[in-house]
Structure formats: C-alpha cells, structure tokens
Homo-oligomer: A and B are copies of this chain.
Amino acid sequence: MSPSAVTINDVARAAGVSKSLVSLTLNDRPGVKSETRERILQTAKELGWTPNPGARGLTTRRAYALGLVLRREPRTIEVDPFFAAFIAGVETVLSERGNVLVLTVVPDAAAEERAYARLAADKRVDGFLLTDLLAEDARIPLIERLGSFAVSLGAPPGGSPFPVISRDYDSGIDELVAHLVGLGHHRIAHVSGDERMLHGLRRRERFEEAARAAGLEPVVVPTDFSPEQGASATAALLDGEDRPTAIVYGNDPMAIAGMGVAHERGLDLPGELSVTGLDGSHIGSFVYPSLTTLDNDPAGFGLAAATALLRLVEDGEAADVALPPARLVVRASTAPPAR
C-alpha cells in the first residue's frame, strides 16, 4: 500500500542478485560489473526504491538531516524576513542530496541547550546551522562537546573550529553612511540591534567608524532588534534635543516601526527625516516611503551554509565561505535634509 513498502531485498530479488550488490551499486562503490550495476539501477528505478535513511543511518551513523534551532521570545515570536529565504536556500542543497532539515523553535536558552543536546544524542541530525551568532556563543563549545558538527553565519571573534559563512557588510555600511552624508546629513543616528549578537555589534561599530571618518559624532541607541524597541528608540531620538536628520536602523522591521513613529509626530518623510533599514526585506519596498536599505542574500547564505555543513559531515572538513558584499539599495526614504 504505502509505496515505500519496497526494500532492498525486493530489489535484490527482482534483479536476481544479493543485497550486498544492490547496496554497493547504490552507493557508487567499485567492484560491481557494469552490466549488473545497470540492471540493478534499472530495477531499483522500476520498483521506485529509495533506501530508508533510518536503517541506513544505523550502520553509517548518519541522520541524513541537518538541524536549525531558532531561539525566539514567545511574547513576540515572529521570525525575521531573513529565514524563509534562508531555509529555501538550504533546501535546494538538501533535497538533491537526500537530506532533510529539522527545525526547532525554542523560547529560551535552557530549552535551546536541551534541543541541541537532544537532537545530537538521538542522532536526529548530523550537524547544525548556527544563525544569530552571539559574541561569546555558548553553542559552539556545546556542539563540540556533543561531538556534532556546525557551520556559523558570521565569524565568532574567539575563532571557531567550524566553517564560517560570512558576507562583507562593512563596505555596505560605509556606502550607506556616504550616501547620507552625500545628501547633506550631519546628524545621523543609528538604532542598533541587539549588541550581544555579532551582526548587531559589528554593524554598530562600523557605523561609528564610518560616521567619525566623515567627521560626524555618531549617536547610537541600542535595541533588541524588535519593532517595539525600534519604535521607542525613535521616539527618544525625535523627542530629544538635536534631533537627527537621518536614522539608520539595524533592520527593516525596526525601520518600518520607526517610520510609524515619525509619521505619528507629523514629520514629512524623507524631507524632515531620512530613514534606512538594513538586511533589505520584501515588505520594505512597499511601505511609504519605500525603504532605502542594504540588501542581503538569505538564499545564498542558506545554500553556502548547507553545502559547507554537508561537506564537513561527509569529509570531516570544509572551507570557510565569503559571500559577495552587501549592496546599497537606494529607494525613497532617503533625501537631502529640508533645511
């Protein structure tokens, strides 16, 4: 009934050979006469047989699966625009290699640790994709201790035993600041994301460097990357003295929330306030004014990360990957300051 009732034995019998030969053939191993090999491949296809990963893993000690554990506040669980495309990128690699993605969403650090430990111990996955990297990320030593593998999006400052997939965002931030300065802005603020996160911190640092290099005194309001805090940071900036004429937000959702606050106060955007996001999202092109931002390539990240991780799992080693640098996407939310 269930189409997969067919096993290696069925194939062996139908092809008139032993299980061993079927196994050797399927795994592209030498030592099978090419006629036999053809016949086996043929009948396997006819029967629609595909090896059972569970049974296979019992001897190969593989799960043929990769894990992604997302930690998100239950209060405001809503995943960044980044992830759908990231997962789709991962998927393109996995599906053509018979692997699968195991996704887990956890509410806090304790549950997170349990999730990694459980997935590794039960051999549910062969390795992990590490996103939202923290400066001192406990997951890296944890995964080492668990005897599993990983790749990280971004390079941990302390170094990592695992491959790193990175993308130059610094030059994009330079460009973005130059763009604003070129428009005539002198008071530029940055509503930064969670600075315990590597990309939040790095963006903040680079923003400050770029601003100073342009002779400006950088103003930074740190947040946790949530729209809420993006909104309150904006309110603080707009209600304070020396109101900025441009605000660079750590991500698009915060920029959108910030625009809401500015509109609420009756400001004309971008005339009285220029805003930019970061990590360009789809919805960013449809708000008013449409959002200037730095693009990102979540699918590219997913593809590179999955490829490297699979390679690490299979060959025991894999190289770091550097993706093409982020690019500036100029839309309608930035303009010369009206003054």
Q: Which A residues lie at the B interface, using CB under 8 A?
A: 1-4, 48, 50-55, 57-58, 63, 65, 70, 72, 74, 76-79, 81, 83-85, 87-88, 91, 95, 98, 100-107, 111, 115, 117-124, 146-148, 227-228, 230-231, 253, 256-257, 259-264, 281-283, 285-290, 299
Give every chain B residue within 8 A of A54 (Cβ-Cβ): 53-55, 57-58, 63, 123
A87 touches which of B81, B95, B103, B121 (Cβ 8 Å): B103
- Other than the given A54-B57, A74-B88, 11 more pairs (CB < 8 A) read A1-B147, A3-B121, A54-B55, A54-B58, A55-B58, A72-B84, A95-B115, A100-B102, A228-B286, A257-B286, A260-B290
Of all A-B residue pairs in the complex, the 6 with the closest CB atoms, nearest first, are A2-B147, A257-B286, A79-B84, A260-B288, A4-B121, A263-B288
Is there an interface contact between B95 and A100, defined as CB atoms closer than 8 Å?
no
Closest CB-CB distance, A164 to chain B, in whole Å? 23
Residue of B nearest to A56 (CB): B54
Q: Which of A4, A115, A146 has the most CB of B within 10 A?
A: A4
Within the complex, which residue of B120, B264, B281 is in contact with A2, where a contact is CB–CB below 8 Å? B120
Pair A148/B264 contact, Cβ less than 8 Å: no
> Nearest B residue to A91 by beta-carbon distance?
B105
Between-chain CB contacts (< 8 Å), 16 pairs: A2-B120, A52-B122, A53-B124, A54-B55, A72-B88, A77-B84, A77-B299, A78-B282, A88-B105, A88-B107, A101-B104, A228-B286, A253-B286, A256-B256, A262-B288, A263-B263
